[in-house]
Amino acid sequence: MVATYKDIRRLTGLSLATISKYYNGGNVLGPNRELIEEAAAGLDYQVNNVARGLRSRRSMTIGVVLDQLNSTFNTTIVSRVEERLREAGYGTIICDARQDAHSQAEVVRFLIGKMVDGIVVVPVGDDTSFLKPARHRDVPVVAIDRLMPGTDSVVIDNRAAIASAVQLLTDSGHTTIGLLAGPDTTYTMRERRAGFRDAVRARTGLLPRVELLTPEEVSIEGGYAGLRRLIHLSAPPTAVVCANYGLTLGASIAQNELGSDLRPALVGFDNLELARLIRPRPTLVTQPIDKLALEAAELLLQRLNGEGPDEPVTIILDTTLMVGHESTYQLKPRVRMQR
Amino acid sequence: MVATYKDIRRLTGLSLATISKYYNGGNVLGPNRELIEEAAAGLDYQVNNVARGLRSRRSMTIGVVLDQLNSTFNTTIVSRVEERLREAGYGTIICDARQDAHSQAEVVRFLIGKMVDGIVVVPVGDDTSFLKPARHRDVPVVAIDRLMPGTDSVVIDNRAAIASAVQLLTDSGHTTIGLLAGPDTTYTMRERRAGFRDAVRARTGLLPRVELLTPEEVSIEGGYAGLRRLIHLSAPPTAVVCANYGLTLGASIAQNELGSDLRPALVGFDNLELARLIRPRPTLVTQPIDKLALEAAELLLQRLNGEGPDEPVTIILDTTLMVGHESTYQLKPRVRMQR
DNA sequence: CTGTTAGCGCGTTCAG
DNA sequence: CTGAACGCGCTAACAG
């Protein structure tokens, strides 16, 4: 059977209150401390955090809700958030919403039922109603990567990120640039798409043709299919911007299967590790993922301490453009596709 | 303030016991059901699982401990395990041990403190002492990927997996085959290394030369450095087997930087998605990751129901060899390295 | 089917 | 500094 204060009382003769104080940093006499430590070691005693949480109304755990687990972006977020929160004495419960709004809502209820003290979320969509159980209980929430109205958020400057990619390409002489991005149903994609449109107009004086930015499925397959679609246009782009890591990966796979004459220049998103697998080395818009995570953790800790302004806080971070192998970005005479 | 049974009692006039029964599937009269549902909706009531767990001694949650989060293998494991356990009514707490035995032990204590009913673990090392808190409380544990003495385990047939790779290579005419694997400090690497040695001897009649299987760091960098080391041997291998996904990735990156005359044939591990990024398409030893996860979940559910044999169970699954682009595996005349 | 009673393991008064 | 008593929100006996 698992040991409790009562067992320690039996072995030490002390009262439950004294034992409780020992485990909560109160003042306990030296000899009594030793008595408790001895008994606890013998019993393999460990504090029951469930009971503690019930009584103290603080579970000292926070929930991390991810739109999906299977992405470098998210695993980095988790790793950093968990690290920082652990320093502050909090445990972390990680939950995967698998790109499904319904299970995202379910997961939030699960966490609320587990009495988490706060939530960090990389949300699935734009709908914030899934956070209602948290709001109603005054459980603070910090969103990462997506701006959520009424919620503290840490995001990147999506428009500037895309603009930096477009600028690099126009500076290299490209005038026909395609975009691989998802539909306008999420904040991130809306911003990146708008950023693309604005940047192209600012640099070329013209809006990009519609067929150059048709929405794709946000996935590896979507990137793959999207790049092939762009290439087969009657006036194909000489360069393509990918608005997300999955799309970049898919586009790179498609690139890889093409003859080099057909390859448009590519600017992708994230994941430097994989960049080394691809030749020529791609140019990437790199997000400050560690910093996103740390800012979110810090913000949440503030809220847990009852600090910070009354209104929701929004933190916006800048991205970096990592320029890959130069040759990719010099405009070369191109062979027009036959069909 | 967050609502409790008392609030529902106040609104309905029913007793706590009746309300409890309602929330636990007991028989409650229709009118009373409606009363409770109405009150609960108005209060935005939600069961406090912490209190419930304290009383019932079943938290209905299980912990998943991973050696690292940042791997396709592990995220797939999590995804499938969580899916199956949710069907059975269990919530899942995911914890990342970050390849550190100490934080692995800490995480297990955290989970025990959270009163989890069971644990699934992809362990960091071979030492099983970190499971002591679970054992002591009769919390069932299922290990994945590593055979842990005294613990239910679900693993692949590592020796056969490597042997299948070696056989393919010898059938293609290779006689000098290198191995990229980690040190013998973990079960998995021990098995794969032993499998390699046995298979090479069985197929060529000779043990592989020592320098062909020097242990590498188990990482992308290790695979990268390892392949370069093998290539620069005075008698370099014409083919290389990579005993793990990270090593495969690193070796592929190194391959990618080499002139094609210097490229040995490669057989790697896992991750079919990335295989599409690499040309020529690599041959891969593919683990039945979904099945590993499902078998583990099923085994744990059995234990949670007090079923299954008294002794620890070991389930061993077979791997599949996915043969890549044929040309990689035909032995070609090779230019010997100068230095 | 419903209500009463007695805890689960712990933290927090308040006396001593 | 220590101990007794009470209650956190819920479940599990038992009566009724």
Q: What is the pLDDT of residues A101-130, one digit of tens each?
A: 999 999 999 999 889 999 999 999 889 999
B124 and B219 fall within a common domain:
no
Predicted confidence at residue B325, as pLDDT, reads 63
Residue B226 falls inside a structural domain: yes
Average pLDDT value over all residues in chain A: 89
Determine, yes or no, domain membership for B333.
no
Do residues B240 and B295 share a domain?
Answer: no
- Considering only residues 107-166 of protein chain A, which place a Cβ less than 7 A from any atom of strand D? none
Tokens 């290790």 correspond to B222
Asked if the Cβ–Cβ distance from B46 to A78 is below 8 Å, we say no
Residues B151 and B165 in one domain: no
The residue segments making up the domain with residue A14 are 5-46
Query: Is residue B134, in this structure, part of any structural domain at all?
Result: yes
Q: What is the CATH number of the domain that holds B257?
A: 3.40.50.2300
Q: Per the domain annotation, does A338 fall within a domain? A: no
**B168 and B250 assigned to the same domain:** yes
pLDDT one-digit tens code per residue, B7-39: 999 999 988 989 999 998 878 888 888 889 899
Q: Which residues of chain B have pLDDT under 70?
A: 1, 276-280, 325-339
Instruction: Find all residues with CB under 8 Å of A193, minimum gap 6, and list them.
Output: A179, A181, A184, A213, A215, A243
Residues A295, A256 share a domain: no
Quote the pLDDT of residue A169: 95
Counting residues of chain A whose pLDDT is more than 90, the rounded percentage is: 61
Strands (E), B87-150: 91-96, 118-122, 141-144
Q: Are B124 and B33 members of one domain?
A: no
* Nearest CB to A50; choose among B59, B82, B273: B59
With respect to residue B337, please indicate whether it lies within any of the assigned structural domains.
no
pLDDT tens-digit profile of A277-334?
A: 666 778 999 999 999 999 999 999 999 999 999 999 999 999 999 988 644 443 433 3
Closest nucleotide C1' to the C-alpha of B7: D9
Nucleotide nearest to B55 (CA to C1'): C8
Q: What is the pLDDT of residues B175-216, one digit of tens each?
A: 999 999 999 988 999 999 999 999 999 999 999 999 999 999
pLDDT of residue B337: 33
Nearest CA-CA distance, residue A54 and chain B, Å: 6
Residues A193, A136 within the same domain: no
Confirm or reject contact between B238 and chain A (CB < 8 A): no
Tell me how many domains chain A contains: 3
* Residue B334 domain-assigned (yes or no): no
* A14 C-beta less than 7 Å away from strand D: yes
- In single-letter form, the type of residue at position B81 comes to V
Angstrom distance, B299 CA to C1 C1': 38
Q: Which two tokens stand for residue A296?
A: 């979110």
Same domain, yes or no, for A265 and A172?
yes
pTM exceeds cut of 0.75? yes
> Among A39, A55, A56, A52, which Cα is nearest to A3's?
A39
Which helix H or strand E contains B223, and what residues bound it? helix B220-231
B:34-63 Cβ neighbours of strand D under 7 Å? 47-48, 51-52, 54-56
Query: How much is the pLDDT for A258?
Result: 77
Q: Which residue lies nearest C1, CA-to-C1' measured?
A: B28
Q: Is A27 exposed, middle or buried (0-12, 13-18, 19+ CB in 10 A)?
A: exposed
Residue with the two structure tokens 């460990």: A46
Amino acid letter, residue B182:
G
**What pLDDT score was predicted for residue B279?**
65
Distance from CA of B276 to the nearest CA of A (A): 6
**Best mutation site among A277, A278, A290 for testing chain B: the one with the most B CBs within 10 Å?**
A277
Is B338 inside any structural domain?
no
Cβ-contact B286, B272 below 8 angstroms:
yes
Task: Mark yes or no for CB contact B277/A278 under 8 Å.
Answer: yes
Distances (CA, A) of A16 to A5, A13, A51, A188, A247: 6, 9, 14, 53, 59
* Residue closest to B65 by CA, chosen among B138, B136, B146: B146
Q: Which nucleotides of chain D are near protein (any atom < 7 Å from a CB)?
A: 1-13
Which amino acid does the sequence have at B106? E
**Do A150 and A200 share a domain, yes or no?**
no
Asked whether the beta carbons of residue A114 and residue B50 sit closer than 8 angstroms, the reply is: yes
Distances in whole angstroms, Cα of residue A39 to Cα of each of A7, A29, A44, A203, B179? 8, 16, 8, 74, 51
Whose tokens are 């990229």? That residue is B180
A69 inside domain: yes
Rounded alpha-carbon distances, angstroms, from residue A34 to A13, A24, A40: 13, 15, 10
Same domain, B305 and B256: no
Four-residue CA torsion sign, B74, B273, A328, A156 = negative
Q: What is the pLDDT of residues A208-233, one digit of tens each?
A: 999 999 999 998 889 989 999 999 99
The pLDDT of A188-194, averaged and rounded, is: 96
Are A79 and B93 within 8 A, CB to CB?
Answer: no
Q: Are residues A141 and A248 in the same domain?
A: no
Same-domain status, B103 and B200: no
What number of other Cβ atoms are within 10 A of residue B272's Cβ? 11
Find tokens 């990618």 and name the residue.
B256
Residue A39 in this model has a pLDDT that exceeds 80: yes
Tens digits of residue pLDDT in A140-164: 999 999 999 999 999 999 999 999 9
Look at residue A333 in the predicted model and tell me its pLDDT.
33
